[in-house]
Amino acid sequence: MAAIVVSDLRKSYGALEAVRGVSFEVKEGEVFGLLGPNGAGKTTIVEILEGYRQRDSGDVSVLGQDPRTAGRSLRERVGLVLQEAAVPPLLTARELIEMYRGYYPHPRPTGEVLELVGLSEKADERVRRLSGGQQRRLDVALGLVGDPELIFLDEPTTGFDPSARRNAWEVVRNMRTLGKTIVLTTHYMDEAEHLADRICVIAQGRVVAEDTPGNLRARTVGQTQIRFSVPQGVRMEDIPVKADVRDGTAVIATSTATRTVNELTTWALGRGIELPNLEVVRPTLEDVYLELTSDE
Amino acid sequence: MSDATVAARQVRYEQKLFWRNPASAFFAFLFPIIFLVVFATIFKDTNAPVNGVKVKYDDYYIPALVTFGVIGACFTNIAASISIRRDDGILKRLRGTPLPPWAFLAGVIGSSVIVSVLLVVLTVGFGVLVYGVHLPNHFGPLLLSLAVGAMTFCALGLAMTVAIPNAEAAPAIVNGVLLPVVFISGTFFPIDPTSVVTKIAEYFPVKHFINALFTAFDPAHQSATGFVGNDLLIMAAWGVVGIVIAVRRFRWEPRRT
C-alpha cells in the first residue's frame, strides 16, 4: 500500500520550471529520502504534498487524498516539520506541546513526546532559552504530537553541529520504529544514507535516481580508484596498468581492484620498488550523488 | 475537544503570550494614562468646546484616550504581532495543523478584547479617581460603542497585515497609517468641527469612535439615548471592509524574497 503517489508532477514559478514531471511512490512505513542540492525542487514538491502550494499539473495522492482539496481531515493524519523551526519564544516546551495536542483528535501524551525528542529535562523552559538544536527538536515534537500516520521532515538537521545531528537521527529512527511513514528532505548524502530505506535523487526539477542506498552504491562498480605516489626513477611507461599521473600521483580506475592491485604489487616487488602512499579508494555515495546532480 | 473549546484555549494562549512580554504589556496600559496626565496638566482648569457646549478638558480626554488605548490593543497589536509571527513561520506551521483558521483568529481577537476591557476600566478609573471626571452616563451605549469599535479595529488590524511585507516594516507602516488619522481625529485636543481637517477626519473611523464614546459618557447631559447611529454605522462599515480584505487576502506564509 502506498502512502504517497506522485505522477508527472509539474510546477513553475513564472518562467522558472521548478518541478518538471516528477513521479515516485512512498510505501507505508518506510523512510523515503528526497535528496538533492539547494534549488533542485525538493521543497516545492514537499510543499505541494503538504497542501501549501498548488501544482500546475500531474496527480498527487497523500494517504489516499488529494492535498489540494483535502483540508482538515488530511491535516489530522499528517505531521509537518518545516524547513525553519517556528516555535513561539514565550511559551514553554510543555505549553507548546499541550497547545498543539488540542488540535488533534488522538494526540500522543505530552511526556512521551518530550521523551521521544529528548527534551524531558527542558520541558518547563521557555522556548527562547532553548538552543537552536533543542528548538528544532521541539519543532519535531510538534510534528509528532498528533500521532500522524505520515510525517514530513524538511531538512531537519541543516545548521546542526555533528552531535546534534546524531541526536536528531536518533529521533527519526525512534519515529520509524513507531511505524510512521517518513518523507525526509535533505541535501546531506550521509543523512539520507543513514536514515532512508529508499532515496530519490532530485536535480533541476527531475528525478535522476530512485533506489535503496545499497543499490545506489552498486552504481559505483567500475569506479574504484587505486592511487600511489610515483617513486623516483619510475617512468609512466614502466607501470604495468593504465594510469593517469597527476602531480606525481598515479591514479588507476578499475572495476577489478583485487586483480589490479595484485598486478601492481607483483611488478613492484619484482623490481624492488616501494609504492609510497598506496591506497584503494571506494567511491562513496557522495560521489554518486555529486555525479547524478551535476549539471548536464 | 470541540472547536469552541479550542477557540477558548487559543484566547488563553494569546493572553499568556501578551502578559509574558511585560514591557509591551506595561506600555499598552501606561500610554493612555501618560497622555492623560500630560494633557490634564497642560490644560488644567480649562474648558473645551465639544459639540457646541463647553466641557472640562479632562472629560473630553477620557473618551479620546480610551479610544486611543483600544486602537492600540486591537489594531496596532494585531497588525504587529501577526506580522512578526508570519515572518517567523509560526503562522505557516499552524496552518499545517487541523486548527481551524477562525479559531486561531478568534483567539487573537478575544485576547485583544480582554486587554481593551482592562484598559478601559483602568483609564476611566484613573480619570475618575485622580481628575474627578464624570462616570459614563449611558452604560449600555458605552458597551455597544466599545464592542463595535473593538471589532472594527481588530478587523482593520488583520486587514493591515495584508499591506505589511515583513516584520521590520510593521511598526513604520502601522504608525504611518494610524498616527495621522489619530491626530486629525482630535485624539489629543478637540479640533474645530467646521475645519477642513475635521471634514477629512470624518471619512475615517477614529473620529467616530471618539464621538461615540463621548456621547456615551455624555458629561454635559446633551444626549437622551447616549449614542449616535451614524458614528456606529460608519465604524461598522470600516470593520466590514477590514473583514472582507482579511478574508480574501490574509497570508499565513512569509513573503518569499
List the domain boundaries for chain B. 3-249
Query: If you ran DSSP here, which 8-state letter would residue A29 be given?
Result: T
pLDDT (0 to 100) of residue B151: 97
Q: Average pLDDT in the B8-24 region?
A: 92
Give the span between the Cα atoms of B72 and B69, in whole angstroms: 5
**Res. B126 pLDDT band, cuts 50 70 90:** very high
Q: Name A26's Cβ contacts closer than 8 Å, sequence gap at least 6.
A: A2, A3, A4, A32, A181, A183
Amino acid at B85: R
Does residue A205 sit in the same domain as residue A228? no
pLDDT (0 to 100) of residue A110: 96
Number of domains in chain A: 2
pLDDT (0 to 100) of residue B97: 95
Does residue A106 sit in the same domain as residue A198? yes
Least confident stretch, A75-89, A100-114, B40-54, B142-156? B40-54
> Mean pLDDT in chain A?
89
pLDDT (0 to 100) of residue A172: 87
CA distance B96 to chain A (A): 6
Q: Which residue has the higher pLDDT, A86 or B145?
A: B145
Domain with residue A36: its CATH number is 3.40.50.300
Q: Average pLDDT in the B2-29 region?
A: 91
Residue of A nearest to B94 (CA): A100
On the question of pLDDT at B257 being above 60, the answer is no
B97/A146 Cβ within 8 A: yes
Asked if B1 is an interface residue toward chain A (Cβ–Cβ < 8 A), one would say yes
Least confident stretch, A154-168, B17-31, B168-182? A154-168
pLDDT (0 to 100) of residue B52: 75
CA distance B127 to chain A (A): 33
The three grid cell numbers given for residue A215, joined into one nine-digit string: 543499490
Query: Which of residues A191, A218, A245 is at a domain's end?
Result: A218
Does residue A204 sit in the same domain as residue A241? no
B contacts of A146 (beta carbons < 8 Å):
97-98
Domain that holds residue A228: 224-293
On the question of pLDDT at B194 being above 90, the answer is no
Does residue A78 sit in the same domain as residue A153? yes
DSSP codes of every residue in chain B: --HHHHHHHHHHHHHHHHHTSHHHHHHHHHHHHHHHHHHHHHTTT-EEEETTEEEEHHHHHHHHHHHHHHHIIIIIHHHHHHHHHHHTTHHHHHHTSS--HHHHHHHHHHHHHHHHHHHHHHHHHHHHHHH-PPPPS-HHHHHHHHHHHHHHHHHHHHHHHHT--SGGGHHHHHHHHHHHHHHHTTSSS---TTSHHHHHHTTSHHHHHHHHHHHHH-TT---SSS--HHHHHHHHHHHHHHHHHHHHH---SPPP-
pLDDT (0 to 100) of residue B188: 84
Give the span between the Cα atoms of A212 and A199, in whole angstroms: 6
pLDDT (0 to 100) of residue A295: 64
Does residue A147 sit in the same domain as residue A172? yes
pLDDT (0 to 100) of residue B191: 84
Does residue A111 sit in the same domain as residue A250? no
Q: Which residue has the higher pLDDT, A71 or B103?
A: B103
Does residue A117 sit in the same domain as residue A54? yes
Asked if B22 is an interface residue toward chain A (Cβ–Cβ < 8 A), one would say no
> Mean pLDDT in chain B?
91
**Res. A220 pLDDT band, cuts 50 70 90:** low
Q: Average pLDDT in the A162-168 region?
A: 81
The three grid cell numbers given for residue B115, joined into one nine-digit string: 486587554
Query: How much of chain B exceeds pLDDT 90, in percent?
Result: 69
Asked if B95 is an interface residue toward chain A (Cβ–Cβ < 8 A), one would say yes
**Res. B59 pLDDT band, cuts 50 70 90:** confident
**Res. B256 pLDDT band, cuts 50 70 90:** low
Query: Which of residues A184, A202, A218 is at a domain's end?
Result: A218
A contacts of B97 (beta carbons < 8 Å):
75, 80, 100, 103-104, 146
A72/B253 Cβ within 8 A: no
On the question of pLDDT at A240 being above 90, the answer is no
Does residue A256 sit in the same domain as residue A270? yes
A contacts of B253 (beta carbons < 8 Å):
52
Is the Cα torsion angle A75, A77, A83, A86 positive or negative in sign?
positive
Does residue A31 sit in the same domain as residue A108? yes
Evaluate whether ipTM surpasses 0.90.
Answer: no
